[in-house]
Structure 1
Amino acid sequence: MEIKLVQKLIIQFILILFLSISTFALYRVPVDNSYVTATFLEFRSTGKIPHFHSGVDFSTFLKEGIPILAAEEGFLRRLEIDVDNIYGNTVVLEHPDGYRTLYAHLANFNEEFEKIANMLRDEFGDKRIVVEFLSEDFKVSKGEVIGFSGRTGEAAQAHCHFEVRDKEEKVIFDPLEFIDKSMLRPVQMGIILKSLIIDGQEFNYTENGTYTFTGPYPKIAVEAYTELAKNLLGVKEIKVYFSEKLVYHIMLDRLSMELWEKPYSLYDEKTVMSALTYRGFYKLYSDESLPFVKVNDMSGYNASNYQVKLEIRDEFGNSKDFYFNLVRR
């Protein structure tokens, strides 16, 4: 009797362990041997209104027709057939872990999905078509080809735009927290701080430099990036210390879709995005309660002099500290 009980407990333990491992299994990168060309919650001014970049872009080496692969097993939840909207041709999959993944800017779909798309085009013509699949009829395996890279929608060059959302698609998550980053192509990278905005005035950043401010507390914005190969990408986390005390902390790990069209809640209005220029200034102060602001004690200080440390981290494990001084004018 006791032996059977022990065997039963062992089997239960193995099942729990297996389920735990399965629950936290990492997604595969949707493009083989690729690297990241844009990160989560970067500023975008394309389309009808400025918005957050709600996913991660993976390089397809400027080529159309590169296979786009399912990040995890699941089933087809939605097809978006459209060449002119922000996302263009899009596949949305749902997975056993309860998340959905989205793959945008596709030139076309895989053979099975393309047959569905062609039937819909024949019936509804050349216009935007969005089809939700309520059943789990169209299953996919992890690593299965679901489409091919393109530049439909707002994409200037061919690439794969990839998102992770909750099942209700009310919250978007940083995909790099789900991805097996060991599958990415190794590239040289580091963190840079190019300039500061203090009380609306822009300055080039100088290590241990001194800058002036007015008002009850310093209103700081920073132009910071992850430098990856030839690309400047957004960062993941910024902590602000006044004389070694943490006063402000942003962590860009998730966002409610309600805030998708409110990028100025994070970015200063001097942020610029054009075909040739991207300058993203993260605001390090806020009067709002925002989900990505974890600590907000900036306005609780009323000193005349500040020794400031910025601790900036990206999703790839890089971290760097920057120092400067502030003096009330």
Structure 2
Amino acid sequence: MEVLEVRQFLYRFKFVLFVSFLFIAFVPSLLVALYQLPVDSSYITATFMEFRSTGKVPHFHSGIDFSTFLKEGVPIKAVANGFVRRLEIDLDNIYGNTIVLEHLDGYRTLYAHLSQFAEKYEKLANMLREEFGAKRIVVEFLSDDWKVSAGEVIGYSGKTGEAAQPHCHFEVRDKEEKNIYDPMDFIDKSLLKPVQMEIILKSLIIDGKEYSYSENATYEFSGTYPKIAVETYTELAKNLLGVKEIKLYFSGDLVYHIILDRLPMEYWEKPYSLYDERTVMTALIYRGYYKLYSDESLPYIKVNRVKDYNMSSYKVVLEISDAFGNVGKFSFNVQRR
């Protein structure tokens, strides 16, 4: 009886190993499948979770922007196979004309600021415009009948909504649209047009006072700990983009760490949880100051130990990364006055 039980165990064990092998061999190809670009041979002109003051209230930029080279009418394509889930027919809202797809991996993608939809969707939109006039119209598709294939044209670039220039705003959301994710973690970045870029640190705010950044300089603070905010960007083709990750070290210890990879929808209108109030965004100016301290437990703060330190001076090191793989390291000193 004991031998039989051992044999049965070994048989089950071998079966589990076989199933595990099949899972390891075949499922990762689905998990790591990267999305195509919605715009051919394009580059990024705005990144995930940048500050925005357009619309009714300040908010996070909840996607990335692809250049359409200042042109309307450039084809916008589905990044993967899936189904149409929603059309938003609107010229004046933040997103303007928008199409939302759902994909086989369970995520949804959103394409905004369209001048018009692809022909079959534009026909439906025109019918609804004739019926309801110049109103915001949202059409939800509950069935999977409106299928799309990767690379299929679903609309054309425009500047509807809050867009100042024609481009494609692109988002990745979960199926329930409760969380928004950094699309740079989903797209095939090798398809992006090569552009020269680097991480830059322009200025600091320490205890409310602003300084130009200078390597290894010493700055003063007066509180129980230095409240630091940093103005930092990825400089890409003379355009300033937000960064993805910041690590703050005090005398060699990691005391603050943010990763901007997921934004719960309830935080969309709370950009000052991340940015200092001196942050400015206009049509011509963008100055974004990331706060490196917080009293809140926020989803994008991974380490928050700044208050654990109560020394009179610190050697400060910043390690700043972007979604393109660039890393910048910067150092300075702070001294209690």
What TM-score do the two structures reach when normalised by structure 1?
A: 0.96
After superposition, residues 301-312 of structure 1 pair within 5 angstroms as 301-312=309-320
- Is residue 202 of structure 2 the alignment partner of residue 178 of structure 1? no
- Is 1:141 the counterpart of 2:149? The answer is yes
1:28-50 deviation digits (Å, cap 9, x = unpaired):
11000000000000000000000
> Partner residue of 1:88?
96
1-structure distance, mates of 2:273, 2:27: 39
Deviation at 1:120, TM superposition (A): 1.1
Structure 1 CA distance for aligned equivalents of residues 178 and 281 of structure 2: 26
Instruction: Determine the C-alpha separation between the residues in 1 that align with 2:258 and 2:187.
Output: 22
Percent identity over paired residues: 73
Pick the aligned partner of 1:97 from 86, 91, 105: 105
- Aligned pairs for 1:1-329 (under 5 A) are 13=21, 17-329=25-337
Alignment-mate amino acid for residue 195 of structure 2:
V
The CA distance in 2 between the partners of 1:30 and 1:125, in whole Å, is 30
Shift of 1:13: 4.4
Q: Over aligned residue pairs, what C-alpha RMSD do you find? A: 1.7
Structure 1 residue 16: Cα displacement: 5.5
The amino acid of 1:75's aligned partner reads F
Shift, 1:19, TM fit: 3.0
Q: CA deviation at 1:122?
A: 1.5
Structure 1 gap segments, 5+ residues each: 1-5
CA distance in 2, matches of 1:199, 1:12: 54
**In structure 2, the residue corresponding to 1:162 is in which secondary structure?**
strand
Post-superposition, which runs of at least 4 consecutive aligned residues in structure 1 deviate over 3 A? Answer: 9-16
- Tell me the CA shift for residue 119 of structure 1: 1.4
Q: For structure 2, which runs of at least 5 residues remain unmatched after alignment?
A: 1-13
Deviation at 1:17, TM superposition (A): 2.5
Aligned equivalents of 2:257, 2:24: Cα separation in 1 = 36
Measure the CA separation in 2 of the matches of 1:11 and 1:86.
48
How far residue 228 of structure 1 moved from its aligned partner, in angstroms, is 0.5
**Against the structure 1 CA distance between its residues 268 and 15, is the aligned structure 2 distance closer, same or farther, given a 3 Å change threshold?**
closer
> Which residue in 2 is equivalent to 1:3?
none
Tell me how far 1:118 sits from its aligned partner: 1.0
Structure number, greater radius of gyration: 2
The count of residues paired between Structure 1 and Structure 2 equals: 325
d(CA) in 1 for partners of 2:112, 2:156: 10
CA distance in 2, matches of 1:107, 1:54: 20
The normalised TM-score by structure 2 is 0.94
